[in-house]
Amino acid sequence: METLTKIPLTVVLIFLVILVGNSKICPLQVVESCNVNDKEALLEFKRVIQFDVWQYPGAWAPDTDCCTTWEGISCDPVTGRVVEIRMSGFPDDYYGVDTFFAMGGTLSPFLGNLTYLRVLDLRFGLFNGPIPPDLSGPVPNSLGKLSQLEYIYLDHNELSGAIPTCIGKLSALQMLYLHHNRLTGPIPFSIGRLVDLQMIDLGHNQLTGVLPSSIGNLTQIKSIILENNMITGNLPQSIGYLNELRDVLFSNNKFIGPIPPSFGNLSLLKRLLLSKNMLSGDIPSNVLNLKNLEVFNVSTNQLTGKIPPHKSSFPASAFSQNLGLCDAPLPPCNWL
């Protein structure tokens, strides 16, 4: 009894805290299993996976907890709702898809039932077919229902068909990466509703039609990448009022008309790539003299006139293949 009385009070208190913390008096508020609807949606997603080298979805068992044992799935610890799907593959030596590590199949429309999803990362895979049309339909199979989705990484796959109009319903979206697929058709006008969007990369597809003027509504956008498509029409003036823009990469399309002078308002712009289009007219002086502009290329267009005086050291190749363009760094204008 004498030895018990010598136990320090602090040790006793610590023991009591541990005891209470593991008792029914003060249980931890953590959900142990994922939502039944989320589990069903993920199992439907698994069902249309045609091959899965590393057995990520292949190892998902219906009688196990998708939040704690399913590879690539993350849940909110309080609600038990699925918030992330991360199962990207790996690039090969040429930045294509390394098929040894890839997962492929079609995208299940049941993904639209994951209403708490914030991250969808399936890049560097071999997913084919369209972005599911059911995702643009009514509840429950609606992509527009994923109002909490912030990041879409579906680049470097084999997705085809049009970008669904319902993409405009993803009001929380910040990153949209659909580049290096086989997408066709126009960029939907509804893209302008994504007012929190910061990065959009639709490059290396087969997109056509005009770039909608609603792109000017994306006031938080920092990077717009559309290179290597077949987009036509004029460059929207509204782009020139997106004050957060750092990157405009529009090379190798079919844009026509002038470079809008409003682009000269883009004080944070670092990269402006407009080569291999059908642009015409002069190069606006205020565009060429943007103080933060580091990379500039308007080669292989139909631009004319004298290159405005500028302090930047852009090479002649940045202006080449414009038959009516002259002066430094190109040869002098012989008509002056």
Strands 232-234 and 254-257: parallel
Specify the pLDDT at position 262: 97
Separation CA 231–CA 176 (nearest Å):
18
- Burial of 133 per CB tally in 10 Å (0-12, 13-18, 19+): middle
Asked if residue 34 belongs to a domain, the reply is yes
Strands 223-225 and 247-249: parallel
Specify the pLDDT at position 307: 96
Whether residue 329 has a cis bond before it, omega within 30° of 0:
yes
Q: What is the CATH number of the domain that holds 60?
A: 3.80.10.10
| Domains held by the chain: number | 1
Beta bridge partners of 304: 324
Asked if residue 252 belongs to a domain, the reply is yes
Asked if residue 296 belongs to a domain, the reply is yes
Q: What is the DSSP letter of 138?
A: S
Other C-beta atoms closer than 10 Å to the C-beta of 81 total 19
Closest CA to 204 of 161, 149, 251, 147: 251
Specify the pLDDT at position 204: 96
Asked if residue 334 belongs to a domain, the reply is no
Separation CA 116–CA 236 (nearest Å):
35
Q: Where are the beta strands (DSSP E) in 142-261?
A: 151-153, 158-161, 175-177, 182-185, 199-201, 206-207, 223-225, 232-234, 247-249, 254-257
Asked if residue 157 belongs to a domain, the reply is yes
Specify the pLDDT at position 96: 42
Specify the pLDDT at position 233: 98
Asked if residue 216 belongs to a domain, the reply is yes
Instruction: Look up the pTM and report it.
Output: 0.83
Asked if residue 120 belongs to a domain, the reply is yes
Give the model confidence (pLDDT) of 112-151 as tens digits: 899 999 999 887 554 444 554 333 222 223 466 788 999 9
Tokens 């760094």 belong to residue: 329
Stretches in the chain below the pLDDT threshold 70:
1-32, 51-55, 89-104, 124-144, 335-336
Question: What is the three-class DSSP state of 127?
Answer: strand
Separation CA 85–CA 97 (nearest Å):
19
Strands 73-75 and 82-86: antiparallel
Asked if residue 223 belongs to a domain, the reply is yes
Separation CA 248–CA 214 (nearest Å):
16
Percent of the chain at pLDDT exceeding 70: 77
List the domain range (segments joined by +) for residue 201.
29-326
